[in-house]
Amino acid sequence: TLLARAAALTPSLHRAVAWQTLHEEMLDGRLPARALLEAALAALPGEPDELVATQLAGLVRGTYWRWLPDATRRAVAPQVERGLWRALDGAPTPGRKGALFGTIVSVTITPDGIARLERIWRRQEVPRGFPVTEAMMQAIAEGLAIRGVPDAEAILDEQARRLTNPDRQARLAFL
């Protein structure tokens, strides 16, 4: 099947088209969302093309939030979070690391995952080989607040003090 072969296709354009086709198959109800999510997550660490890797990260994020029932999302969350962190650890470029980290911040819902993001935001932990930018720290702070961590208000206040970019300050004030 295409799902089983998509990650091995060459050249990269064929892989990109295959993943898009699989996404459309899922939208048409011919492919279970969980199957697409698991295949895209499995393909991420070994994907050699930067654009296809970004496409896969987007498929993981979109499928996870838009197409999985809540019970399924909660059941696969630990696997998804672990898979994304593994992919981040092995990512060869800053661009890929950034795309993967953004996906991690977006999809993390487990208590362990949220605690890890909070440690990163508090600068108690640094993702291996990846500097976390001001924009990413803001995304983490916003994500922690949305997820209802106990000190959410204090985190947002501290993040506002950390910001140097006026556009980011305005965005945070709006929230």
Q: What is the per-residue pLDDT across 88-110, written as a single tens digit (0 to 9) for each?
A: 999 999 889 999 999 999 999 99
Residue 66 Cα to chain centre, angstroms: 14
At position 74, the amino acid (one-letter code) is: R
Q: How many CA atoms lie within 13 A of 154 on its CB side?
A: 5
Q: How confident is the model at residue 129, as a pLDDT?
A: 80
Specify whether the CB–CB gap between 125 and 131 falls below 8 A: no
Per-residue pLDDT for the chain (175 aa), expressed as one digit of tens each?
A: 999 999 999 999 999 999 999 999 999 999 999 999 999 999 999 999 999 999 999 999 999 999 999 999 999 999 999 999 999 999 999 889 999 999 999 999 999 999 999 999 999 999 888 889 988 999 999 999 999 999 999 999 999 889 888 888 887 777 6
Closest CA to 86 of 111, 64, 60: 60
Burial of 144: CB neighbours in 10 Å, binned 0-12, 13-18, 19+: buried
Q: How confident is the model at residue 6, as a pLDDT?
A: 98
Q: How confident is the model at residue 175, as a pLDDT?
A: 67
pTM of the model: 0.92
* Residue matched to tokens 């059941």: 75
Q: How confident is the model at residue 171, as a pLDDT?
A: 78
Mean pLDDT across the chain, nearest whole number?
A: 94
Q: Counting every residue, how long is the chain?
A: 175
Q: How confident is the model at residue 131, as a pLDDT?
A: 86
Name the helix (H) or strand (E) containing 121.
Answer: helix 111-121
Burial of 154: CB neighbours in 10 Å, binned 0-12, 13-18, 19+: exposed
